[in-house]
């Protein structure tokens, strides 16, 4: 196994993190997955969730990501997120607002495909709030 994995977490605003770490757990489209050194190449979309980065001193650092892509290559792991920030900046009120807006949109449509898409989005935000509780993120 290679000595760690090169990680970059990038949002439209900035490069949030760029370092070699022991492991990274990522909220992928089909669920969470962990990347160690020599991981097989993979590309997936990101679901809203928390990235757990374990540094080489075995200390876990947590980041919130929303949307975007994860790209695992021989060079490392790159997370291109629509939004990415340290978990201490996670805003529960913002997510609760997204849930409320989703519920309003759900009531406003009678197209089955749109209802399913909106309901999946609402469920994703609700799961994120549950996960935030277990991650011990601060409430804003």
Q: What is the CATH number of the domain that holds 15?
A: 2.60.15.10
Q: What does the mean pLDDT of the chain come to?
A: 90
- pLDDT band at residue 1 under the 50/70/90 scheme: very low
Which residue segment(s) compose the domain that 9 sits in?
5-88
Task: State the Cα–Cα distance between residues 73 and 55, nearest whole angstrom.
Answer: 19
Evaluate whether 7 touches 17 at the Cβ level (below 8 Å): yes
- Where do the DSSP E strands lie in the chain? 5-10, 15-21, 23-28, 31-35, 42-45, 49-54, 60-73, 76-86
Task: Please indicate, yes or no, if residue 32 is contained in any of the structural domains.
Answer: yes
- pLDDT band at residue 36 under the 50/70/90 scheme: very high
Which residues lie closer than 8 Å to 80 by C-beta, 6 or more apart?
A: 10, 68, 69, 70, 71
Tell me the pTM.
0.81
DSSP-based helix, strand, coil % in the chain, nearest 5: 30, 45, 25
When divided into structural domains, the chain yields a total of: 2
Same domain as 64, residue 113: no
Q: Is the pLDDT at 115 greater than 50, yes or no?
A: yes
For range 73-82, the mean pLDDT: 95
Q: Is the pLDDT at 38 greater than 50, yes or no?
A: yes
Same domain as 40, residue 24: yes
Same domain as 120, residue 99: yes
Same domain as 60, residue 31: yes
């Amino acid at each position: 196994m290679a000595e760690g994995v090169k990680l970059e977490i990038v949002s439209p605003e900035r490069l949030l993190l760029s370092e070699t770490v022991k492991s990274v757990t990522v909220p992928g489209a089909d669920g969470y997955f962990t990347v160690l050194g020599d991981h097989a190449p993979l590309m997936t979309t990101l679901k809203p969730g928390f990235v757990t980065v374990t540094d080489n001193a075995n200390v876990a650092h947590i980041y919130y990501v929303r949307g975007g892509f994860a790209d695992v290559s021989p060079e490392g792991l790159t997370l291109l997120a629509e939004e990415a920030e340290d978990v201490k900046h996670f805003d529960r009120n913002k997510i609760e607002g997204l849930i409320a807006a989703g519920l309003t949109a759900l009531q406003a449509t009678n197209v089955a495909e749109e209802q399913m898409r909106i309901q999946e989005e609402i469920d994703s935000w609700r799961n994120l709030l549950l996960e935030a509780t277990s991650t011990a993120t601060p409430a804003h």
